[in-house]
Structure 1
């Protein structure tokens, strides 16, 4: 198709960029504003969140929830880094400098004081994220051992176990990143004798229900939060708990303020949060691999945030095509067993989604490929680049298709529209191509304006069929 030529793609991307830039400053006059805006993402996108068979590929709905979850992770990191309350809790303060400069007052030079901005303040604020993850790692250890305990002692359908299977956001983030390092997670579970945890299917439906897609925030149901706090001694919201601790005088505040210091005085306060913070400080090096797992995944999270696929008008088609490409990608491992292969961004999303249910992934891949395929995100850049080049060459050779795809809203909307056109032709209907192009342009423009309005907290545009 002509739209995939490099020159046409460049023109398409430039036009998309100019449209989005313009919308940031002046909303177009193509829409009315107020109630009645489209719900994005469409709720029907999440209709297929039932527990899947170990023999099944991830569904479109599961991949869509994964996109939602990554947006929530991105929002959490920004909130932690820019939180004034956590600045106080971790004793991160502005440190402006005063310098004196000569100034002629008409008779002589005098020393005039000038206050210089603290240029290192922004970097010090970023350290909160690492401290936050260190505390989250301790909570993850507590949480996963409770899951194993309740899995052994109680039936899987009891409310208590379901409350545990939907963890607090910080714990969910540690768990998610750990699952993406398959062999490391398996070794951890075997070492700690966590045999049942590995069999758990990721709770996609419950995660979706806990996410507010307008603000990209995650809130546990009240009964979950109450049970975790009262019985498991786990705060449902770590950001709120640390912020509150920073406002109070006491052991937790002292430990938080001393978190970055090398000398630490042991504290015997029995408060659960204080014990967790203390353990995080004492076991910082031990939990470093878990923290690094999340830190590395932040790169992937930022890439998916930049694409905003979950807000795309073509998200369903994008995920359907990504699942098909992932299936083909897995087959390459069988066809070319001695070649190191690296996925594209969309294929990697589906791969990550699959790995979140550890036992299902291990069973499926072993059956499909003939051996287990580990996912290791600690591989260096040069090796990744070489692996991507190999995958691109073998994918094109095997399937006769392009490996790298654009994923921008315009390209994906065009692909979905062309697929729909092919279906209509098979059904005996062939709408004019000019109508199709106009429809795609209108839809992409509306979704783009809707997203910009949401980001800038403006009134949302109402979809018009004109």
Structure 2
């Protein structure tokens, strides 16, 4: 930032916020998690009951307590009442009006404590019982058909604010902020500085009599929400700063291109970056896409969170599990300087790679420079926080047949983002190391902005490969004749070709020599002999040292699950298709493919509505596991599913892939995989859907993998990254966010014509990703969804972000700028990375 920008930033940091927002934000996130475990408070009769209790019981009790303390110490608020109070306070102007009309004064949160943060509710429950003897302190879950929730309703005070609608808008907010990064104090400390910068823009616009709609990113919005939850402090701070209470109108959630949220976010990005010289986009602060569809509306109730597991005994000790961490990195090349006069600025671009092998980044990808295009252009990538990111500066030559000329390169240590004192972001000038060894004077430099999420444990992703035994006898004999001494192994292999385990079903004769028993055995590199994992008894497979059984004829139950595994305080249910965290973000056109997948969903006290912990993708023969305790169990189950028939006699999973040139006999040696099948490009959305680990996970916005660059686009037109922001619940200065991925395939010299895989007519509920298909002379961009994405992606493409990107070396042609008007929930954008 220059001198003026630095002065503005210092002025913004001087804005006084009367509450300690960082610890308060962490408490807010804990509270929202507690509410999300009670989703009956989002809609239905229990929500109506909670609103009634809030108006009839809690507000009057709070009013009395604010005048004369009703208890020694803080007053504890019932969780259901606190949830309604939370939503009411997030419209601060209306909350003040309602309080003053009903009680003549503002009811603050001072000396009030949440019920989920204290074990000492005795005094509060006693006071509650004295005041409301027929009303329980806590509102417990009842089935939707139970009408007793309306007992003793009584009369409630009238509140002008529509609390049902307020709850509906806020119910999806937790999903957007429920990430490890958002819970990191370093991230929240920086969020506070960005929130002050956001307030400074509003103050500046007001002083200049400019009525502009400013839109926060999610980190800023968490701070804004937290500030509003302290009504007296928020009102005092806003009156001092603005002379009025700043409104937070969350009623507008239309993310369509050109609409209020989209335009507001684009304007906020531009003003923030011009005012302070720092980037507004930030890893971990952007829109995550639509809330995944739930697998159930009824919670599974557990008495405690005891750590039961579904293991298979000591066999887990035999596994040499690869521990990999992953970060999401947002990278932007802001500017460059000291370029030799003979080199045209418009011909310069950047290629990024890693100097170490990475399971996410293969060939790297291209970045344009923001000052060259006049727009904010960046890439959101997923990578391991190891080694260095290499940025090579290239110049396109006049002849498209010639390779770009290398000027030099710089490197960024990715470990920098994992240091304990890292701020998870930086923006600085970096000097190029010249390619030919001769440095110019002064040296060419790049201004690089980078931000990162905290590192998290990556999914375990393994391919299933069956080795076909070979012997001269079976080769010369008819195929119907099998060598009883020969059998195949199914190997579970990482993408780096490291084998974790191999499994085989064997027939074992009983001691009496008559009966034949089947058992499943496994072999690892560290085990010297096969060990038993399961056996077939009474027409079902029983896992060793476990009470888990897999029947031979699984059929869907009433709730749609095909298998249910129970322990005292945990349950695993299996569902056809991709569910919850594994639900596709790209589009809704994969029903046939997704039907061949199976998702394992864990239910526990922490996750009463389920958390997806594993996926079996039968098309790509991949398994994905989020929690290591379930890894071996899922490997065993995935293997056994090959022999299990479901309804109508169709197999739940087809046979595993056959590896050619397999070993000639079963042994305990570790054979490497020559080549794993590359994930097939999705014909609908243009991405490698389903077989790529990063795409299968919704924990990141976009990825770079296997010659594909997932790059963040922007709202409307030639390559701007100007829309991200927060979703519903952030209006009045929020919303507008884009979290959809765009994928760019590396192209050869020639023209380009990008394809949107995004939203066509009726292609609702997802993020329309785009892939560029390369050809020698032309690269075409078409829409993959039904109805297409032409001329702004009209149609009812609800909920996501349709990004479109294009990368070529000479001529570029893009028919769609992503999802336009009618593409609800998106910020349809096109990133044109061509020269």
> What is the TM-score with the length of structure 2 in the denominator?
0.32
Where does 1:136-215 land on structure 2 (aligned, <5 Å)? 136-141=50-55, 142-152=57-67, 154=68, 156=69, 158-159=70-71, 162-163=74-75, 166-197=76-107, 199-201=108-110, 203=112, 206-207=113-114, 210-211=116-117
**Aligned twin of 2:492:** none
Distance 1:458 1:352 in 2: 35
State the alpha-carbon separation in 1 of the partners of residues 88 and 17 from structure 2: 23
Aligned length, in residue pairs: 296
Deviation at 1:287, TM superposition (A): 8.1
Partner of 1:429: none
Counterpart position of 1:63: 25
Please give the alpha-carbon distance, in whole angstroms, between the structure 2 residues aligned to 1:151 and 1:447: 49
- Provide the residue aligned with 1:298 in structure 2: 171
Matched, 1:235 2:152: no
Q: CA deviation at 1:175?
A: 0.2
Q: How does 1:51-450 map to 2 (within 5 A)?
A: 55-77=17-39, 80=40, 129-141=43-55, 142-152=57-67, 154=68, 156=69, 158-159=70-71, 162-163=74-75, 166-197=76-107, 199-201=108-110, 203=112, 206-207=113-114, 210-211=116-117, 221-233=121-133, 234-240=135-141, 242=142, 254=147, 274-276=151-153, 289-305=162-178, 307-309=179-181, 315-337=184-206, 338-381=211-254, 382-407=259-284, 410-411=327-328, 417=418, 420=421, 444-446=455-457
Q: Distance in 1 between matches of 2:204 and 2:260?
A: 21
What displacement does 1:418 show? Answer: 6.2
Cα RMSD for the two superposed structures: 4.1
Q: How far apart are the structure 1 equivalents of 2:85 and 2:630?
A: 35
Cα pair 1:343 1:388 within 8 Å, conserved:
yes
Is the contact between residue 201 and residue 358 of structure 1 (CA under 8 Å) also seen in structure 2? no
Q: Which has the higher strand share?
A: 2
| Contact 2:21-2:227 at 8 Å conserved across structures | no
Q: Is the 8 A contact 2:93 2:245 kept in 1?
A: no
Higher normalized helix content (fraction of residues): 1
Describe the SS at the equivalent of 2:251: coil
Superposed CA offset, 1:11-58 (max 9, x none): xxxxxxxxxxxxxxxxxxxxxxxxxxxxxxxxxxxxxxxxxxx85254
Measure, in 2, the Cα distance between the counterparts of 1:333 and 1:275: 47
Q: Deviations over 1:364-402 (max 9, x none)?
A: 122233443111111352322222111111101101111
SS at 1:201 equivalent:
coil
Larger-Rg structure: 2
> Separation in 2 of the partners of 1:73 and 1:386?
32
CA contact (8 A) 1:148 1:194 kept: no
Deviation, 1:333, is 0.7
Contact 1:202 1:356 in 2 (8 A): no
Cα contact 1:57–1:323 (8 A) shared by 2:
no
Q: 5+ unaligned residues in a row in structure 2: which ranges?
A: 1-15, 286-325, 330-384, 386-413, 425-451, 461-601, 614-626, 632-835
Mean CA deviation greater in 54-63 or 135-144: 54-63
- Do the aligned residues in 2 keep the contact of 1:168 with 1:237 (CA within 8 Å)? yes
> How far off its partner does 1:231 sit?
3.3
Question: What is the CA-CA distance between 1:274 and the residue it aligns to?
Answer: 1.1
Query: 1:65 Cα shift?
Result: 0.8
Following the alignment from structure 2 to structure 1, what is the Cα–Cα distance between the partners of residues 104 and 185?
36
Task: Give, in angstroms, the shift of residue 447 of structure 1.
Answer: 9.2
Q: 1:418 to 1:399 in 2, by over 3 A?
A: farther
Secondary structure of 1:140 counterpart: helix
Q: TM (normalized to structure 1)?
A: 0.54
Task: Give the whole-Å Cα distance in 2 for the aligned partners of 1:340 and 1:63.
Answer: 24
Whole-angstrom CA distance in 1 between matches of 2:188 and 2:170: 20
Distance 1:254 1:406, change over 3 A: closer
Answer yes or no: is the 8 Å Cα contact 2:19–2:233 preserved in 1: no
Is the Cα contact below 8 Å between 2:94 and 2:161 reproduced in 1?
no
Once residues 287 and 385 of structure 1 are traced to their aligned partners in structure 2, the CA distance between those partners, rounded to angstroms, is 29
Closer, same or farther in 2 for the Cα pair 1:57/1:339, shift >3 Å? farther
CA separation of 1:232 and 1:396: change in aligned 2, threshold 3 A: same
Check the 8 A contact 1:331/1:369 in 2, yes or no. Answer: no
C-alpha spacing 1:150/1:178, structure 2 compared with 1 (3 Å):
same
User: Any idea what the Cα deviations from partners look like across 1:69-93, whole Å, max 9, x if unmatched?
Assistant: 111121111xx38xxxxxxxxxxxx
- Check conservation: 2:109, 2:229, Cα contact below 8 A: no
